[in-house]
Structure 1
Amino acid sequence: MHPDNCRRVLYAAGGDFPRLDQAAVKQFHIPESLLMENAGNEIGRKAASLYRQLNKNQPVVVICGPGNNGGDGLVIARYLIKHGIKTIVFIAASRQKINTSPVRREKLDLLEKYTKDIFFIKKINTFFSAACQHASLIIEALFGTGAGRALDGIYAEVINLLNTLSVPKLAADIPAGLGIKNSISLRADYTCTVQFFKEIFFSPAYASGCGKISVIKTDFPPALEKKYTRSIMLIKKPVLPEADTGRNKFSGGRVLICAGSSFYSGAPFLAAQGALCGGAQYVTVLAAGKPCNIPPACIFHQAADFFSSEDFSSRADLFTGASFILTGPGLGRNPQTTDFVEKIINLKDKTVIIDADGLYHLGKILSSKSFPGRIVITPHSGEFARLSGTEPEKLRSEPMTVIKDFYRKYKIAVILKDAASFFYNGEAFYFLPGHIPYLAKAGSGDILAGTLLAMLSLGQDIDQAAVNALALHGLAGKLASKKYGVHAPIEKLPECIARCLKKSEYEKS
């Protein structure tokens, strides 16, 4: 059972989409020409709609490569011309290369019946540059999912030029060069992908190069979909519990925040604000160091300059009475604090959230542990790369693989914070798309962890709480950007979380 505010979508992983294409032709006897015609016409339909929305009078430029993605481009161009849109076609290959494929030769022959504005290019020239610079829309159909090596020569030159232009750019299937090691890639404003999302679209390293993504359907056999695709849950807006007039402050679970040290005095405040503004009704803060401005609505307990196992033993009642515990924000890296974190995660029948410096201490004890409680970690990419022992580049390019391997080994649920965020619970991936620059600030993660505590205390299970905390955090980030500006301090975020709890507010965002 998935949270109601998610949409299940299919995606093709790695090289699965080319194999799916081949299986459609060989096993189901669908002509390759028909597959190309369907894909090109559907992308052409999207491109024509976009052209009209842009409301410009200049031609559309279609740039085709030597392979089947280029063949799609030839069909796209024909569709646009048939629908009255002036179109100039550039082919970054020789006619002989196109003619090596009967299907691509057929598409070129058909296009030549509609227009003479078809130009074969071996290098960038003045005419090509001017046509691109003055176009209403550029459609890039150089390479799709079959490209296997870094772009060079004319292809790299074309992408270099396109990336300097402010003209809207639409990539057919995927932006050329995307995800290829050491390759330049198109920075598209729009990507019109065939049949399914592609796994690379969910990679923080590459997602920003795709722009707005839409999926066009071309009637692949359902049996192939089942064999060659996987699913992911896209997170939409938060779905929050209805107010219960019979609730009191003890109705929800009690939450405990263990945060701070002598060097990080603001972390307890931010985590507590995230919990309170997220709707938690009974919040206890155990803070080390000299915390600043603990919200007066919290029950406050003072620890020493840093946490140690003594703080756990001397305040056993706090841990016994709490249903949900957050530790990590501002803890620092004192070796004695590792013992404190270990005692917390050894608690049975507790849900424990570990963030920030708590992840450092978790890493010290991870290899020898099985965990009796339910643990959710909330790292950013750098923290998770260190914790999982993964190269940062691999994590950014293959986040789902790394997260799944980590869960398989430790049975710890993961919220990975990045330009786009993931939640994985061992069964399904949840994905929150979109980079929100306002949230890229110190303290943002403390507030997210506090908001997750609040969702749990409102009676939501871990999946619902994680999905809603991510959605609420992202929505509040957008609201804060709109209301205060992208450079406003992160202290504005909890207030915006509280506002987004009102359905009327987040529907406006």
Structure 2
Amino acid sequence: MRFVSLSVFYSKTEVATVETELLRDYHFGQQQLIEIWGHACAIAITKAFPLSSLSKKQPTLLVVCGPEQNGSIGLVCARHLRMFEYEPTIFYPKRSPQSLHQDFTVQCEKMDIPFLSYLPTEVQLLNDAYNLVIDAILGPETDHKEVKEPYAGMLVTLKQVKIPIVSVDVPSGCDVDEPAKDGINPEVLISLTAPKKCATGFSGKHFLAGRFLPYDIQKKYELNLPEFPGTECVIEL
């Protein structure tokens, strides 16, 4: 595994501006971006937790999805992990009415990925049932100061689990623009597009996922992204 040091982290506004330009000027589709990110997240998870490294007999994972874009990335990630022979289960308590999100849900259902009807508050049940939790609950688009139920209760539960947590882009409950302190404390963080300011000082495994940004956008916004090795779509920072 190649490691790259990083000195620049980006704000919520900066990353949102880049995404808007991708959609508006480069004609990327929202579904296309979510698919790219979700696939890259799944690849990062296979690098951090290879099947051979899992402690339980079955390669079980719990993917916890929120109602917005991060949740959809979690759904795509779960689908790809299933193709990689992991056994994901999804908890998706408030399903988005948007057709885009519904499409990703149907794809998971068609692959016989189980959906939980509730998240056990008995933390030991989660520790016993799964090898790790994938936190795809609250992304950069969420105001961390206004986390409502059921998500506030979910964060309380997940902060107590003993198994590793992998957070997608932003640890849920954290302020995107501040070093993470109030939210979930993951063992692995997967930054999408570019690492956010909340990743400053993160001491766990940190991946950058998604190798698709046009070079002129990288230059325009002075993103200074690391060079991915070979044909890799993720890199460990």
Q: Judge conservation of contact 1:172–1:193 (CA < 8 Å) in 2.
A: yes
Query: Aligned ranges for residues 266-281 of structure 1 at < 5 Å?
Result: none
Aligned to 2:190: 192
Report the CA distance shift for 1:49/1:76 in structure 2 as closer, same or farther (over 3 A). Answer: same
Aligned to 1:143: 138
Matched, 1:226 2:219: yes
Aligned to 1:162: 158
Post-superposition shift, 1:8? 6.0
Report the CA distance shift for 1:231/1:163 in structure 2 as closer, same or farther (over 3 A). Answer: same
Report the CA distance shift for 1:186/1:126 in structure 2 as closer, same or farther (over 3 A). Answer: closer
Matched, 1:108 2:109: no
Report the CA distance shift for 1:117/1:29 in structure 2 as closer, same or farther (over 3 A). Answer: same
Aligned to 2:62: 61
Q: What is the alpha-carbon distance in structure 1 between the residues aligned to residue 80 and residue 42 of structure 2? A: 6
Q: What is the alpha-carbon distance in structure 2 between the residues aligned to residue 173 and residue 61 of structure 1? A: 17
**Aligned residue type for 1:139:** I
Higher relative contact order (CA 8 A, sep 6+): 2
Summarize deviations over 1:254-300 as a string: whole Å, max 9, x none: xxxxxxxxxxxxxxxxxxxxxxxxxxxxxxxxxxxxxxxxxxxxxxx
Ranges in structure 1 where 5+ consecutive residues have no aligned partner: 1-5, 234-432, 434-509
SS in 1 for 2:16: helix
Matched, 1:130 2:125: yes
SS in 2 for 1:15: helix
Report the CA distance shift for 1:154/1:199 in structure 2 as closer, same or farther (over 3 A). Answer: same
Residue 114 of structure 2 is aligned with which of 108, 117, 137? 117
Summarize deviations over 1:360-412 as a string: whole Å, max 9, x none: xxxxxxxxxxxxxxxxxxxxxxxxxxxxxxxxxxxxxxxxxxxxxxxxxxxxx
Report the TM-score when normalising by structure 1.
0.39
Aligned to 1:34: 32
**Aligned residue type for 1:222:** Y
Post-superposition shift, 1:126? 5.6
Q: What is the alpha-carbon distance in structure 1 between the residues aligned to residue 193 and residue 26 of structure 2? A: 17
Summarize deviations over 1:433-454 as a string: whole Å, max 9, x none: 9xxxxxxxxxxxxxxxxxxxxx
Q: Judge conservation of contact 2:127–2:162 (CA < 8 Å) in 1.
A: no
Q: What is the alpha-carbon distance in structure 2 between the residues aligned to residue 72 and residue 31 of structure 1? A: 14
Q: Judge conservation of contact 2:42–2:78 (CA < 8 Å) in 1.
A: yes
SS in 1 for 2:159: helix
Query: Aligned ranges for residues 169-188 of structure 1 at < 5 Å?
Result: 169-179=165-175, 184-188=182-186
Ranges in structure 2 where 5+ consecutive residues have no aligned partner: 227-236
Summarize deviations over 1:108-139 as a string: whole Å, max 9, x none: 11111102401354xx4468872455310110
Task: Return the index of the structure with the highest Cα Rg.
Answer: 1
Post-superposition shift, 1:149? 3.4
Residue 212 of structure 1 is aligned with which of 205, 212, 224? 205
| Percent of residue pairs identical | 18
Q: What is the alpha-carbon distance in structure 1 between the residues aligned to residue 148 and residue 7 of structure 2? A: 34
Query: Aligned ranges for residues 57-96 of structure 1 at < 5 Å?
Result: 57-58=57-58, 59-93=60-94, 95=95
Q: Judge conservation of contact 2:42–2:80 (CA < 8 Å) in 1.
A: yes
Post-superposition shift, 1:21? 1.5
Post-superposition shift, 1:20? 1.5
Aligned to 1:20: 18
Q: What is the alpha-carbon distance in structure 2 between the residues aligned to residue 195 and residue 54 of structure 1? A: 28
SS in 2 for 1:197: coil
Q: What is the alpha-carbon distance in structure 2 between the residues aligned to residue 45 and residue 232 of structure 1? A: 19
Query: Aligned ranges for residues 374-393 of structure 1 at < 5 Å?
Result: none
RMSD: 2.8
Q: Judge conservation of contact 1:13–1:230 (CA < 8 Å) in 2.
A: no
Q: Judge conservation of contact 1:8–1:231 (CA < 8 Å) in 2.
A: no
Post-superposition shift, 1:194? 1.0
Q: Judge conservation of contact 2:40–2:209 (CA < 8 Å) in 1.
A: yes
